[in-house]
Amino acid sequence: MTFSTALWALIAALIIGVAAVCVNPRRLLNRMVLSTCAHLAVWLGCLHFAFVGNPGIEWRQRAAMVAAGLVWQLWLLKSAVLKPVMTPGARLAASWPWLVFWAALAAVTFGGHFVGVDAGSGRTVYGAAYYAYAVLFLTGCVGLVGQTFWAMRGLQGGRRLELQVLMLGGAVAAFCGLSMVLIDSWLVAPGLLRLMPLAVMVCCGGTVWAVVTTRVLDARHILALCLERIGLVATVGLFVWGIEQLGAQFVGPTVAFVLALAFGLWFAAEISPWMQELFQRQTKGNRVRHAAFEVAREELRPDAMEEAFVKLLKEWAGCERVVILMGSHGRLTGDGLEFAVDSPEMKALSALRWVTPERLAREKPTAERLALQGLLEKHGFGVIAASIGPSPALVVGLSVPLSQRPYTYPEVGVLLQLAAIIENSLSRAHYLMKAQHAEQLATVGLLGASIAHEIRNPLVSIKTFVQLLPNHYQEPTFRDKFFRLIGDEVGRIDRLTEQLLDLSAPRVFSSREVEAHPLLRSCLDLMAAKAEDKGVRLLVEFEAESDQVFTDPNAIKQVMLNLGFNAIQALERHTGERWLRLKTRKVADNVEIAVEDSGPGLAPEAWARLFQPFQSTKSSGFGLGLAICKDILSSLQASITADPPEAGRGATFRIVLPCPPPPIS
């Protein structure tokens, strides 16, 4: 058996048709695709016999007769999208104008004025009817496309996109086939005609793939992608040809070809991003990804970060509602919704990773997918995407856009990337909040001895006066002194407990105008007992003329206590002089606080990773203190650095706090 390009294309057409039905036999459009592929197979069979025959004129006429009916098949595909519930009889009756068009076009192929053979040369001769057929066929395609776009005026959602893709693919296939046939008749290039079946099947196969697979595509996106690829290939091809022609003037043809190929690959890599920017294929997705990274970098609190992500997704998708569900203890919760991770909906979502109503309509229905479809309809979601994993840790749901356009696959791809960014960012924020709370509690634990010592002194004074009260109650001087002391000592205990509660309670930091020097002195008061117990002198050098800063006092207190206790613990192992010094000075428009000690200093290998999590030189703890300090200060538009290690010098940390903005004049 002789194989031709038409026969290979015939086999491909049958495979495509059968595959379309296997995807979802219940869907009318898939069955219509099978009908169209069968029609194409008949046309390709006629072309095969025309190619292998000699001269095969009769088979070429039969192929033209069958091809005339492809316009009718395109109408059936359009009808399957516009009116999927129409009965087969009513659909056939409604298609009578296109059946008449098929019959009229088929009649043109009869007679000797269509295609013949020159008796002298044996070459194929094309008559006036051949070109009339081409004009009529093109007119029918244009009329069908125009009629389709007219019918799409009031159509929205996935059906509109499917019609656009069908008409685009059908028009391109018809244009390619007709162009190659006409060029063959003008240039007598049989090789070009034999490539025509493959070109047509590539267009048809791509169109079928776009309307039956789970990936909903936009015709404009497909057109932009094709134009971008054609432009890229043409530009790079011209560049390679020019380099090869230029190189051939100086080196041999082989070397010139290798050089041209190497430069061509480099040029393609350089020009590809520019071509994407030109056709704006990745611009919107790149912008929203960059914005998501900015949110993750700037926001540290989980609630504020989630709110910023919701706002970003609304602006990107053009929808009214965005739901972010976070997984915890086998449940997914958020925005008043709650689902069990092992529920049918979430099991289906975990397997699919993303769903849209259009995707579920194209696939075979199952119990879990029907439950997922009910979830989409109940809450008005246009797309739901889940994080990667055996069970979803995060689910993002977006309502149908205000434009009523469905979410296309490129948009779903961007949403999946955004979901991964959101999951990582929120998980980090929640973890950081818990770690920060744990670090606060650890600081409170270190304060235990100091607080106990500070509270014991006023309690002893109160106890002594209470014991003396019965014998000296009648003395006015004693009573005045007693009541004054009681108030002072109770106030002192109250202030200590308030400071302890401020440090132990997780809170949202809020900047305000405060005086740095009194704040630092209160921190030294809390560290005094611990320092005295370890033989560490506390020194101060407050050189900043104006100590007004714009920060959260409790946040700074936590940072200073963390640095102070770290220094005291480091000095425990030091055999020389032990001191801890706080210095302040003005740096430009800011106030710098330096925390210096006389200890062994920082190890050079640890200095570069000092503010990274889980970096610790102590035998206890998790190494989170400095990382949390850095995050706290970053959220307050402040910074912390450590001086490079220097032999014979202790550690020095520098905190730069912003001053209040100048008053509005």
* Per-residue buried b or exposed e for 49-63, using 16+ beta carbons within 10 Å of the residue's own CB: bbbeeeebbebbbbb
For the ranges 12-16, 386-390, 461-465, the maximum mean pLDDT occurs at 12-16
Report the pLDDT averaged over residues 368-392.
85
Spatial distance between the Cα atoms of 523 and 534, rounded to a whole number of angstroms: 17
What stretches of 24-127 show up as alpha helix (H) in DSSP? 28-52, 57-68, 70-82, 88-94, 96-108
Mean pLDDT score of the chain: 82
Q: What's the pLDDT band for 58 if we cut at 50, 70, 90?
A: confident
Report the pLDDT averaged over residues 240-245.
88
End-to-end CA, the chain: 94
Specify burial of residue 486 (Cβ count, 10 A radius: 0-12, 13-18, 19+). middle
Is residue 68 in a domain? yes
Two structure tokens written together for 220: 């404009």
Is residue 177 in a domain? yes
Q: Are residues 480 and 376 in the same domain?
A: no
Report the pLDDT averaged over residues 337-349.
85
**pLDDT greater at residue 449 or residue 132:** 132
Q: Minimum mean pLDDT among 18-22, 162-166, 503-507: which range?
A: 503-507
Q: CATH number, domain at 453?
A: 1.10.287.130
Asked if the model's pLDDT at residue 617 lies above 60, the reply is: no
Q: What's the pLDDT band for 568 if we cut at 50, 70, 90?
A: confident
Asked if the model's pLDDT at residue 10 lies above 90, the reply is: yes
Per-residue model confidence (pLDDT) at position 162: 85
Q: Are residues 590 and 631 in the same domain?
A: yes
pLDDT tens readout for residues 297-333: 777 778 888 889 999 999 998 899 999 988 877 888 8
579-587: strand order across its sheet: 537-542, 579-587, 590-597, 652-658, 639-642
Q: Are residues 527 and 617 in the same domain?
A: yes
Report the pLDDT averaged over residues 275-298.
77
Q: Do the Cβ atoms of 215 and 409 come closer than 8 Å?
A: yes
pLDDT tens readout for residues 459-469: 766 777 677 77
- Mark which of 467, 482, 505 sits at the end of a domain: 505
Q: Are residues 354 and 335 in the same domain?
A: yes
Q: At what angle do helices 128-151 and 70-82 cross, to 10 degrees?
A: 0
Q: What's the pLDDT band for 149 if we cut at 50, 70, 90?
A: confident
Per-residue model confidence (pLDDT) at position 298: 75
Q: Do the Cβ atoms of 605 and 584 come closer than 8 Å?
A: no
Specify burial of residue 174 (Cβ count, 10 A radius: 0-12, 13-18, 19+). buried
Q: CATH number, domain at 595?
A: 3.30.565.10
Q: Are residues 50 and 98 in the same domain?
A: yes
Q: At what angle do helices 344-352 and 367-379 cross, to 10 degrees?
A: 100
Is residue 56 in a domain? yes
Per-residue model confidence (pLDDT) at position 313: 92
Give the rounded percent of residues in the chain with a pLDDT score beyond 90. 17
Q: Are residues 85 and 172 in the same domain?
A: yes
Report the pLDDT averaged over residues 240-269.
86
Give the rounded percent of residues in the chain with a pLDDT score beyond 70. 85
Report the pLDDT averaged over residues 242-249.
86
Report the pLDDT averaged over residues 434-446.
62
Q: CATH number, domain at 194?
A: 1.20.1070.10
Q: Are residues 131 and 209 in the same domain?
A: yes
Q: Are residues 94 and 168 in the same domain?
A: yes
**What total number of domains does the chain contain?**
4
Report the pLDDT averaged over residues 617-624.
49
- Mark which of 489, 505, 521 sits at the end of a domain: 505
Spatial distance between the Cα atoms of 654 and 583, rounded to a whole number of angstroms: 9
Structural element, H or E, at residue 387: none
Asked if the model's pLDDT at residue 41 lies above 90, the reply is: yes
Q: Are residues 452 and 520 in the same domain?
A: no
Q: Do the Cβ atoms of 550 and 659 come closer than 8 Å?
A: yes
Is residue 274 in a domain? no
Q: Are residues 462 and 366 in the same domain?
A: no
Q: Are residues 471 and 576 in the same domain?
A: no
Per-residue model confidence (pLDDT) at position 227: 80
| Residue 596 burial (CB count, 10 A) | 20
Is residue 258 in a domain? no
Residue range of the domain that includes 171: 5-213
Report the pLDDT averaged over residues 474-501.
69
Q: CATH number, domain at 369?
A: 3.30.450.40
Per-residue model confidence (pLDDT) at position 21: 92
Is residue 86 in a domain? yes
Is residue 277 in a domain? no
Per-residue model confidence (pLDDT) at position 389: 65
Asked if the model's pLDDT at residue 111 lies above 90, the reply is: no
Spatial distance between the Cα atoms of 323 and 385, rounded to a whole number of angstroms: 11
Per-residue model confidence (pLDDT) at position 45: 92
Per-residue model confidence (pLDDT) at position 621: 43
Spatial distance between the Cα atoms of 78 and 159, rounded to a whole number of angstroms: 10
Is residue 250 in a domain? no
Q: What's the pLDDT band for 9 if we cut at 50, 70, 90?
A: very high
Question: Tokens 């099978």 sit at which residue?
Answer: 34
Report the pLDDT averaged over residues 98-104.
92
pLDDT tens readout for residues 206-232: 889 888 888 888 777 777 777 878 888
Asked if the model's pLDDT at residue 174 lies above 50, the reply is: yes
Asked if the model's pLDDT at residue 664 lies above 50, the reply is: no
With CA atoms as reference, report the closest residue to 526 among 504, 551, 557.
Answer: 557
Q: Are residues 107 and 123 in the same domain?
A: yes
Q: Do the Cβ atoms of 554 and 507 come closer than 8 Å?
A: yes
Asked if the model's pLDDT at residue 631 lies above 80, the reply is: no
Per-residue model confidence (pLDDT) at position 594: 93
User: What's 596's DSSP letter?
Assistant: E
- Mark which of 189, 213, 237 sits at the end of a domain: 213
Per-residue model confidence (pLDDT) at position 655: 93
Cross-strand bridge partners of residue 653: 595, 642
Q: In sequence order, what E strands does 413-478 have?
A: none
Two structure tokens written together for 299: 């926001």
Two structure tokens written together for 12: 């491909």
Two structure tokens written together for 82: 């516009």
Mapping DSSP onto H, E and C, the string for 569-633 reads: HHHHCCCCCCEEEEEEEEECCEEEEEEEECCCCCCHHHHCCCCCCCCCCCCCCCCCHHHHHHHHH
| DSSP codes joined into one string, 515-531 | EHHHHHHHHHHHHHHHH
Q: What's the pLDDT band for 42 if we cut at 50, 70, 90?
A: very high
Per-residue model confidence (pLDDT) at position 582: 93
Q: What's the pLDDT band for 60 if we cut at 50, 70, 90?
A: confident
| SS3 at position 386 | strand
Asked if the model's pLDDT at residue 120 lies above 70, the reply is: no
Cross-strand bridge partners of residue 338: 333
